Amino acid sequence: MKILIPLTMLFFLTMGLSSCSKVKIQSYPANSIVQIDGSAADWENVPLVFNEKPAVVFGAVNDTGKLDLMMRFNDPALAQMMFRRGFKIWFDKDKKFGLNFLGRTPPRMPEGRRLMVNDSLRSRRFQKMGFPASLSLRDFDVVIKGAVRNIYQVDIPLLNAAYGVEGGLFCFEFSVPLVKEKEKGYGAVVSKKRNVDLQFVINEIKRPQKGGNVSAMRGGGMASGRRGGGGGRRGGGLKGGGMTRPDMSAMEVKATVQLASFKDR
């Protein structure tokens, strides 16, 4: 039972984060150089947009060739969800071009530290839980025309990504080329209204298929013909048992970025 405590606590901490929201982001001219380095220090003069659920701040700047996007937040539970589950960021509504992060599982903690997980989420000891202090583009896969490619197998100019932790803030930055509709699949697609559709998705948690009994995990009863047995305890006895499953579904944030400037090339 002690082994289950930290996972249960983490799931209930993240229950309220699972959602689907949409935000409008105004991009500004890239008059100053934004470094894609996982630091929000060079975004101080850029007006930012706050998304309430999840609580994330977005910023964007662009020139005629590329879009720089920044998202930052101070919620360790949200960062933990992203690293455990993995996430994707799409740069067109048809999901033809994007970046994919598979996620990382932290190392197994000694027994004596298991009950410290909740305290660690409220402190600056996040990195001690085994998650990286930084990421770069090489930590992502690239989705080109719907196909997942290793970053070393592609050559997309102006593409970059970074993550860092600074002053208690988790900061993700992305730089992506701007392309026309006919070039969909090779960059952020610019619509006729001079905007870009984005979608940020934290992956769902796949429930384990114990014993290979797929139908039981889908609420189809028990194996060996005992469908619906055990006094109506369908699906492993969770239904009607007074338990509430934590939300492990995907979390989505859709955004429309209105570009500051874009000229046909």
DSSP 159: -
- β-strands 87-90, 141-144: how paired? unpaired
Give yes or no for residue 205 having a pLDDT over 90.
no
Does residue 105 fall inside a structural domain?
Answer: yes
Say whether pLDDT at 48 is over 80. Answer: yes
Domain membership of residue 265 (yes or no) is no
Residues 78 and 192 in one domain: yes
pLDDT digits (tens, 9 = 90+) for 213-262: 433 333 333 334 444 444 444 444 334 444 444 457 778 999 999 999 75
Q: State whether 163 and 238 are in the same domain.
A: no
**Does residue 190 sit in the same domain as residue 232?**
no
136 is a domain residue: yes
Residue 264 counted as domain residue: no
The residue range of the domain holding 242 is: 206-247
Residue 15 falls inside a structural domain: yes
Q: What percent of the chain has pLDDT over 70?
A: 65
Is 14 within the bounds of a domain? yes
What per-residue confidence (pLDDT) applies to 184? 95
Residue length of the chain? 265
Evaluate whether residue 159 is within a structural domain.
Answer: yes
Same domain, 59 and 173: yes
Please give the pLDDT value at position 53: 84
Confidence at residue 261, expressed as pLDDT on a 0 to 100 scale: 72
Based on the domain organization, do 126 and 240 belong to the same domain? no
CB atoms within 10 A of CB 129: 17
Q: Give the residue carrying structure tokens 């799931």.
A: 11
Whether residue 13 is found in the same domain as residue 88: yes
What's the pLDDT score for residue 204? 83
Domain total for the chain?
A: 2
Give yes or no: residues 194 and 216 share one domain.
no
What is the tens place of the pLDDT at every residue in 155-165?
A: 999 999 999 99
Give the lowest-confidence range in 58-62, 127-131, 159-163.
127-131
* Confidence (pLDDT) at 222: 33
How far is 89 from 185, CA to CA, in rounded Å? 13
**pLDDT band for position 77 (cuts 50, 70, 90):** confident
Q: 130 or 47: which carries more pLDDT confidence?
A: 47
- Does residue 180 fall inside a structural domain? yes
Q: How many helices (H) and strands (E) does the chain have?
A: 5, 15
Same domain, 201 and 235: no
pTM higher than the cut 0.85: no
Same domain? For 228 and 110 the reply is no
Q: Do 222 and 188 fall within a single domain? A: no
d(CA 47, CA 113): 41
Question: Are residue 153 and residue 220 in the same domain, yes or no?
Answer: no
- Examine the domain organization and report whether 36 and 55 are in the same domain: yes
Q: Is the pLDDT of residue 17 over 80?
A: no
Contact between 126 and 100 under an 8 Å Cβ cutoff? The reply is: no
Identify the pLDDT of residue 28: 95
